[in-house]
Structure 1
Amino acid sequence: MRYSVVFVFILPETTTETTSVTPETTTTPAPTTTLTETTTTPAPTTTLTETTTETTSEITATPEITTAAAETTTLTTTVSTTAATTTPWTAPAIFYPFGAKAGDIEILENGGDTYYHVVFSTPFTYFGRTYNSIYVNNNGLLTFNHSLPETNPYPFPAYGAVDYIAPLLTDLNDLGIGKYSYQEYTSGSVLTRATQDINQYFPGRDFTASWVFVATWDYVRTWDMNVFNQHSGPAITVQAVLISDGGFSYIQIHYGDCAGIPAAVGAGYDTKGSTDYYQIHYDPYGGYSIPNLKNTTNVGVPGRWAFLVNNGSETVIGVQMKLQSFSNLAQRENSDAVLQIIKQELIKYGVSSKFELKLRKLQKINP
């Protein structure tokens, strides 16, 4: 009699806000000017003389003095003033909340190569390696192992010694005024939004986000703070979102306006030794090709990219089954049917139904 051993691993099947700002318009009431013209007509004086043949009498009569009523003319002048309305700049709807109004910690760019070391409250697993902190570099780069504020974009795979995520690796600090900011979330509407996003782009996992980290870079080609605040000059705005449920890890990269810049640019993610990587964009001759990034996507939403960067925990089990034909099991449709039978048996014995079975190895043994 022949027996076969099937090694199966269990993957926990886990299944991820547009802010509208209405500008306040102030209208200055129109001033009213009243002009009054008054005209007075003096009363005439008349002298009458009456003469007879018998008696001569001189009578002087003073008529009643009449004063004409004053005529008043009112002229109204209306001055219309249209208050200058300034619509505050808002990021594209795909962006998660960021900046001071969202509660971020902000770093104002000073023209040098800077970074900020952030310690996580919850570890984040990136392609099998678990990290408790991250470096937010001013050049559009997140690094896990150490800071890397200098800018040296290489095409992926770079075969380096650092795990990193590069929404837009370039000399952002040469553009003008800029800020980069970050915030960590463990509750609230941002987690709800992340849960919805991941379930939309990676269905069938019943994913529920328990942790989110958002980092944003916002630069404008100007040295005028008013121009910066209104984004009335050429600008670059990009964002990275790290999402986890404690097992599965995802990242999202968002692109807003991306003005051309005379420096090499790279975008995507890479790992130690480039065992896992993805290149969204690379241009070694100057980033004048980046304005179109806001129209690119891998999930059907312009400006947004989403990636699974850790497959979660897995359990490998061995199942010994007696089969009539080993060759039949080797066929995909037959092995899928057997996996469903195994899953139902595991559920019957109390295992949660929220897992996925995949056939890793099929080995034929003799009894």
Structure 2
Amino acid sequence: MKMHSRMFLLWSVCLVHVESLTVSDFYPFGVGHGDTTMAANDDGSSPNISISTKFPFFNHQHDKLIVSTNGAISFLTPVSQYTPDPFPLGGDRRLITPFWGDLNTRKGGNVRYRETTDPKILERASTEIRAYFPEFYSFYSAWVFIATWDDVAFYGCSSTGCLKRNTFQAVLITNGLHSFTIFNYANIDWTTGTASGGNADTGLGGKPAQVGFNAGDGKVYYVVNGSRTADIVNIHKMSNVRIPGKFVFRIDSSEIGGGGCNTEGNVIITPSSGPMLGGQHLTFSGPCIEEYTSFKVKFSNTRYTLRCEKDSPYSFYCITPMFDSTGNIQVDIILADESKTKPFIGNYTICKYLYQIMYEFLY
């Protein structure tokens, strides 16, 4: 009863040779924080969990979800399958999988979850999303769901293998319109249960765990590099936001978007339009920004090259000059760090009147 399918979205991640997150870096979890703890089980799931707000995922709104012992959150049906088939999967299997593999909490560990609107948690989530997605500079979280697989063992582990444990967390965040997920990983010692071909002593080999998202239509999905390969044991050393053991994604639309930065390509300019008279504060996000990075920005219809300032490891800002024409223009950006320079390209719209800018912002 293992399934397949096709078409994908893939985000590359980097392997960083430093220590991963620790549990103290996770969102707070445990009985003392109001979590529900699932009974020890093998291939089990929570009941349907009614949630207090609609959660957007792959262009669908959901008012319930299900937490699986086997490292997944689903929205329509439980996940009892222990060997992860490659995404995409059909049959309305709409899945968020921080580590879909063959867990067995009868051999050790706990699965805990809760929804929360605690102001401190909402502020932390809002701050993280604004940092990793600078274009969402006004994002405020209204709801958070935290699921934690704490010190969990794998199916079929020997007395030696049962000492190997994984700890990871999925944090779902929404303001009702946009939604995001944070995956946090502390220790990852194993990838595979014995029913999936893994070794009882090491928890390695066979068909390893899968990390990603599945739309359930048999077409659209997203997988993190290393999924279903031996490399997934290193996911606590990987990241898409330059923090080993942390991944952040936007998940409300038909395409999964990774947070953080990239080393080449396009730039997101926020806001995307502004007045002909200039004087607008623009945030540029997309490129990875090092401590000593310098920035030069050239609008294609001006003779000026602007020098900009660093805002965060994921963004920098400039003030626009006065323009002598309106319309869509190309923006050329050069990032310089020590002896290396990196070109990026963005787009910006110059409007003559304020109502044009407001119309773009609203529609």
TM-score, normalised with respect to structure 2 = 0.58
Task: Specify whether residues 341 and 161 from structure 1 end up closer, same or farther in structure 2 by C-alpha distance, changes over 3 A only.
Answer: farther
2:45 pairs, out of 114, 119, 124, with 114
State the AA in 2 paired with 1:182.
Answer: Y
Matched-pair contact (CA < 8 Å) for 1:155–1:279: no
1:272 pairs, out of 191, 216, 228, with 216
Structure 1 residue 154, shift from structure 2 partner? 1.9
1:196 pairs, out of 127, 149, 153, with 127
- RMSD of Structure 2 on Structure 1 (CA): 3.4
Aligned residue number for residue 355 of structure 2: 345
2:167 pairs, out of 216, 237, 260, with 237
Gaps of 5+ in 2: 1-20, 156-161, 194-206, 255-324, 332-345
In the alignment, the residues of structure 2 paired with residue 262 and residue 152 of structure 1 have an alpha-carbon distance, to the nearest angstrom, of: 8
Alignment coverage as a number of residue pairs:
239
Gaps of 5+ in 1: 1-89, 224-231, 313-327, 358-367
Q: Deviations over 1:113-148 (max 9, x none)?
A: 333321001110112100000011110011111112
1:255 pairs, out of 173, 185, 203, with 185
Structure 1 residue 275, shift from structure 2 partner? 4.8
In the alignment, the residues of structure 2 paired with residue 159 and residue 222 of structure 1 have an alpha-carbon distance, to the nearest angstrom, of: 26
Say which SS state the counterpart of residue 171 (structure 2) adopts.
Answer: strand
In the alignment, the residues of structure 1 paired with residue 168 and residue 122 of structure 2 have an alpha-carbon distance, to the nearest angstrom, of: 20
Task: Specify whether residues 331 and 112 from structure 1 end up closer, same or farther in structure 2 by C-alpha distance, changes over 3 A only.
Answer: closer
Aligned residue number for residue 208 of structure 1: 140
Q: Deviations over 1:33-61 (max 9, x none)?
A: xxxxxxxxxxxxxxxxxxxxxxxxxxxxx
State the AA in 2 paired with 1:299.
Answer: V
Q: Deviations over 1:266-319 (max 9, x none)?
A: 11111122554221155557xx5443111111011111111111259xxxxxxx
Task: Specify whether residues 109 and 158 from structure 1 end up closer, same or farther in structure 2 by C-alpha distance, changes over 3 A only.
Answer: same
In the alignment, the residues of structure 1 paired with residue 98 and residue 39 of structure 2 have an alpha-carbon distance, to the nearest angstrom, of: 19
Relative contact order higher in (CA < 8 Å, ≥ 6 apart) = 1
Structure 1 residue 222, shift from structure 2 partner? 9.7
Matched-pair contact (CA < 8 Å) for 1:299–1:306: yes
Aligned residue number for residue 321 of structure 2: none
Matched-pair contact (CA < 8 Å) for 1:115–1:137: yes
Matched-pair contact (CA < 8 Å) for 2:328–2:348: no
Matched-pair contact (CA < 8 Å) for 1:250–1:307: yes
Matched-pair contact (CA < 8 Å) for 1:175–1:220: no
In the alignment, the residues of structure 1 paired with residue 132 and residue 61 of structure 2 have an alpha-carbon distance, to the nearest angstrom, of: 24
Matched-pair contact (CA < 8 Å) for 1:212–1:241: yes
**CA radius of gyration, larger in:** 1
Q: Deviations over 1:45-100 (max 9, x none)?
A: xxxxxxxxxxxxxxxxxxxxxxxxxxxxxxxxxxxxxxxxxxxxx94343111111
TM-score, normalised with respect to structure 1 = 0.57
Matched-pair contact (CA < 8 Å) for 2:327–2:350: no
Say which SS state the counterpart of residue 294 (structure 1) adopts.
Answer: helix
Same amino acid, percent of matched pairs:
28
Q: Deviations over 1:154-213 (max 9, x none)?
A: 223334532110000011117821211111112321111001100000013211111111
Matched-pair contact (CA < 8 Å) for 2:104–2:152: no
2:80 pairs, out of 125, 149, 161, with 149
